[in-house]
């Protein structure tokens, strides 16, 4: 019996495994999925976890609950040897290293946060890519309020209450909107911290927010965030960071203790896969059918792959694409096992949406039609709720949203997040482990 091994447990991996389960009989192939976490993360709702609007557990779905007969291994992939068709992995919990052979291997390990080797940045920033990042950030916001409530030194207080988000793409815009909502919601608990003491700055290198999308979306987002007190800086980038703040390329300096980094992604440590062909931004270059050329039995999809779009470019790294790539990749593996021709991945984007918080959003719909405001926000919520895997998760999120209408957000400071665990994801991104006690 053939063995198909899927590496990763995100959007592309689950979509591929589910389709392979449908298409292949139990006697035709053994399916194995190796991922470093036993859940898949619904990233579009991550900014709401960082602001405490949603509970951390409500946007993850256990991998075992999503698959019927795929064998799941909770482990970090260490090496893929294409010559011997072997994957080596280390169990996340036991630390034991083992190997498994494959007939077909599918690489869907996503991307990691990139700080572009800017001086001082990786050691100091907070990313928003993993569940742990979102939990750490939420705790950081509460921790800042608690500290500002007791600090008397005006300069230090100002640094504590200035928060900078770097990167005005979807994640940065959504995180900023959610931060505003959090501080608005819990302000009443901190009588010594007025709303005007808190400054949230959003820095984007491009001319407008949400670069790459219709300008109207970025302009609306900037106007809405500014109206809610955010300082939006466009056309300026980060040069370096130090313990007391950020230096921008224009020479501008922002004194802050908290930098949220959503300015870019890079491929994860792909050297573990040997000498693979590289595509956009160092990701794995694949053919249109998602096969890695020159490496028989090897396939890649999602954020870690450059898939040609047939028009000279590549498909963007989004969940929207990853969940469509998975089934096509699975169909292509089935076709190749049965000696049939494979098909290229072809997909036209349905558009993009970004929630701004406060019941506002921007949405690009098919035909480049743009929606803004409440209608876009309603669409955002309905669409993403419908895409969240599992009825129980849908109900939990809907319940969180309902409670939020009535109650303020939780301000419990959870020490469990005060030290950024030396997780594999942080190590991939080159982010240093951080300790809140580092504050002088
Ligand atoms: C905050 C945020 C908001 C977003 N919002 C949207 C949105 O609204 N719409 C949209 O379309 N896209 C959105 N995205 C982008 C989207 O999350 C990604 O494009 C998508 O997750 C890519 O899917 P993937 O399967 O390639 O990778 P991922 O979903 O990142 O999955 C990678 C998997 O690989 C596992 N893994 C990694 N390395 C290893 C290893 N060495 N060993 C074992 N397992 C490993 C990880 O644990 C994970 O399970 C957002 C991203 C973020 C961070």
d(C-alpha 411, C-alpha 397), whole Å: 19
Q: Coil, helix or strand for 341?
A: coil
Closest CA to 270 of 78, 35, 16: 78
d(C-alpha 300, C-alpha 29), whole Å: 19
d(C-alpha 250, C-alpha 81), whole Å: 46
Using the structure block, give the residue that is written with the tokens 């939420």: 138
Q: Whose CA is nearest to atom 51 of ligand 1?
A: 43
Residue 424: predicted pLDDT: 65
d(C-alpha 98, C-alpha 346), whole Å: 37
| Residue 171 beta carbon below 6 angstroms from any ligand 1 atom | yes
Closest CA to 283 of 295, 269, 267, 299: 267
| Residue 302 beta carbon below 6 angstroms from any ligand 1 atom | yes
| Residue 109 beta carbon below 6 angstroms from any ligand 1 atom | yes
Q: Whose CA is nearest to atom 2 of ligand 1?
A: 43
Q: What is the pLDDT along the chain (440 residues), one digit of tens a residue?
A: 899 999 999 999 999 999 999 999 999 999 999 999 999 999 999 999 999 999 999 999 999 999 999 999 999 999 999 999 999 999 998 999 999 999 999 999 999 999 999 999 999 999 999 999 999 999 999 999 999 999 989 999 999 999 999 999 999 999 999 999 999 999 999 999 998 999 999 999 999 999 989 999 999 999 999 999 999 999 999 999 999 999 999 999 999 999 999 998 888 877 777 789 999 888 999 999 999 999 999 999 999 999 999 999 999 999 999 999 999 999 999 999 999 999 999 999 999 999 999 999 999 998 889 999 999 999 999 999 999 999 999 999 999 999 999 999 888 877 665 544 446 666 666 666 554 443 32
Residue pair 318/261 in contact by the 8 Å Cβ criterion: no
- Ligand 1 pocket test, pick from 62, 110, 174 with the greatest ligand atom count within 8 Å of Cβ, gives 110
Q: Coil, helix or strand for 2?
A: strand
State the angle between helix axes of 170-186 and 131-148 in degrees (0 to 180), rounded to the nearest 10.
Answer: 40
Which H helix or E strand runs over 353? strand 352-357
Q: Whose CA is nearest to atom 16 of ligand 1?
A: 319
**pLDDT tens per residue, range 174-206:** 999 999 999 999 999 999 999 899 999 999 999
Residue 334: predicted pLDDT: 98
Please identify, by atom number, the ligand 1 atom nearest to the C-alpha of residue 352: 9
- Ligand 1 pocket test, pick from 5, 10, 80 with the greatest ligand atom count within 8 Å of Cβ, gives 10
Q: Whose CA is nearest to atom 3 of ligand 1?
A: 44
Which H helix or E strand runs over 28? none
| Number of neighbours of residue 429 by Cβ within 10 angstroms | 24
Q: Coil, helix or strand for 193?
A: coil
Residue pair 375/230 in contact by the 8 Å Cβ criterion: no
11: Cβ contacts below 8 Å, ≥ 6 apart:
40, 302, 319, 322, 323, 326
CATH topology of domain 2-113+266-337: FAD/NAD(P)-binding domain (3.50.50)
Please identify, by atom number, the ligand 1 atom nearest to the C-alpha of residue 77: 42
């Amino acid at each position: 019996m053939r063995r198909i091994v899927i590496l990763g447990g995100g959007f592309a991996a689950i979509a591929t495994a589910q389709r392979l389960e449908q298409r292949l009989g139990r006697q035709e192939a053994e399916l194995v999925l190796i991922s470093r976490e036993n859940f898949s993360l619904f990233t579009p709702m991550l900014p709401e976890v960082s602001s405490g609007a949603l509970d951390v557990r409500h946007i993850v779905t256990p991998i075992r609950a999503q698959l019927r007969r795929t064998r799941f291994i909770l482990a970090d992939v260490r090496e893929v040897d294409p010559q011997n068709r072997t994957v080596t992995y280390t169990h996340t919990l036991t630390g034991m290293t083992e190997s498994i052979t494959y007939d077909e291997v599918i690489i869907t390990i996503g991307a990691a946060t990139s700080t572009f080797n800017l001086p001082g940045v990786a050691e100091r920033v907070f990313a928003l890519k993993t569940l742990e990042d979102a939990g750490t950030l939420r705790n950081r916001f509460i921790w800042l309020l608690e500290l500002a409530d007791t600090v008397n030194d005006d300069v230090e207080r100002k640094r504590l209450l200035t928060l900078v988000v770097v990167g005005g793409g979807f994640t940065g815009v959504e995180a900023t909107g959610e931060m505003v909502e959090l501080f608005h919601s819990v302000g009443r608990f901190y009588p010594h911290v007025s709303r005007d003491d808190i400054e949230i700055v959003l820095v984007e290198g491009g001319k407008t927010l949400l670069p790459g999308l219709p300008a109207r979306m970025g302009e609306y987002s900037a106007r809405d965030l500014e109206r809610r007190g955010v300082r939006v800086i466009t056309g300026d980038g980060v040069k370096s960071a130090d313990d007391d703040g950020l230096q921008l390329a224009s020479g501008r300096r922002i004194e802050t203790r908290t930098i949220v980094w959503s300015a870019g992604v890079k491929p994860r440590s792909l050297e573990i896969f040997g000498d693979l062909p590289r595509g956009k931004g160092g990701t794995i270059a694949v053919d249109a059918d998602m096969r890695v050329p020159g490496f028989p039995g090897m396939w890649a999809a999602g954020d870690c792959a450059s898939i040609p779009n047939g028009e000279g470019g590549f498909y963007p790294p989004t969940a929207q694409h990853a969940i469509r790539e998975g089934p096509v990749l699975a169909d292509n593996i089935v076709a190749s096992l049965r000696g049939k021709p494979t098909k290229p991945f072809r997909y036209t984007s349905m558009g993009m949406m970004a929630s701004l918080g406060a019941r506002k959003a921007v949405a690009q719909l098919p035909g480049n039609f743009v929606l803004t405001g409440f209608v876009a926000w309603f669409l955002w919520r309905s669409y993403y709720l419908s895409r969240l895997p599992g009825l129980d998760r849908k109900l939990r999120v809907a319940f969180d949203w309902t409670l939020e209408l009535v109650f303020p957000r939780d301000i419990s400071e959870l020490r469990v997040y005060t030290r950024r665990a030396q997780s594999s994801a942080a190590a991939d991104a080159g982010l240093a482990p951080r300790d809140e006690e580092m504050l002088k």
